[in-house]
Copies of this chain bind each other. A is one copy, B any other.
Amino acid sequence: MNLIFSLPSQWVELIGYFGSFLTSITFIPQVYKSWKSKSVGDLSIWMVLIVITSTIVWLVYGFAIQSGPVILANTIVFILTLVLLGFKLSFPKSK
């Protein structure tokens, strides 16, 4: 762990931004796949609802600590999971 702890702070910040970037794009392939297939039967609506709720909480946190990466990542995830929720509610349940 000492190796990690002793990383220069710019590196740490960069790693944070990279994590933030990956989190932001997480739901892009899912939205794309769901849109193409018009099939979301295997997706848990609870997962989607928890993600939406958590992004709202993280946004409040992000604004409170004024963290750009937290605000940006969660705004994008919030929008993408709202889209997934829309799919979940509107696509036919045929499976």
> Which residue of chain B has the shortest Cβ distance to A49 in the bound complex?
B29
Task: Determine the interface band of chain A, counting residues with CB < 8 A from chain B.
Answer: 35 or more
Q: What is the CA–CA distance of A9 and B41 in the complex, to the nearest angstrom? A: 42
Check B64 against A22 for contact (C-beta < 8 Å). Answer: no
Check B63 against A22 for contact (C-beta < 8 Å). Answer: no
Check B63 against A4 for contact (C-beta < 8 Å). Answer: yes
Check A61 against B26 for contact (C-beta < 8 Å). Answer: no
Task: Identify which of residues 52-83 in chain A touch chain B, using a CB-to-CB cut-off of 8 Å.
Answer: 53-54, 57-58, 60-61, 63-66
Chain A residues proximal to chain B, CB less than 8 Å: 1, 4-5, 7, 11-12, 15-16, 18-19, 22-23, 25-27, 29-30, 32-34, 37, 39-44, 46-47, 50-51, 53-54, 57-58, 60-61, 63-66, 95
